[in-house]
Amino acid sequence: MDQKPSINNNEKKNLNDRSEKELNAKILKITMLINSQYPELSKYIEEMPITIPNEQNPEITLINLKAYYNSLHSLLCKYRI
């Protein structure tokens, strides 16, 4: 039987930290692109549901960051078409 290599908790945290940093960098890059080249779209970024949490202290997760990046990417792609 083939066994998958196991990942301990420290390795998982390092992977998540790296993923979080990468996502934050991508979010920053696409946000700066929108603000500099498509300033007319900036108002939509502020109105995105993900930027207006409905919780008192929302938790920032990789899933939330991915969803936010995807919504920014989608906004930009739809506008460019």
For residue range 32-67, list pLDDT tens digits in order.
999 999 999 988 887 776 655 566 666 778 888 888
* pLDDT at residue 30, rounded to an integer: 94
Residue for token digits 């083939």?
Answer: 2
Contact 50, 67 (CB under 8 A): yes
* pLDDT interval class at 2 (50, 70, 90): low
Going by C-alpha positions, the residue among 44, 50, 79, 76 that lies closest to residue 65 is 50
Q: Are 45 and 72 in contact (CB under 8 A)?
A: yes
Considering the entire predicted model, what is its pTM? 0.71
Instruction: Evaluate if residue 70 carries a pLDDT over 60.
Output: yes
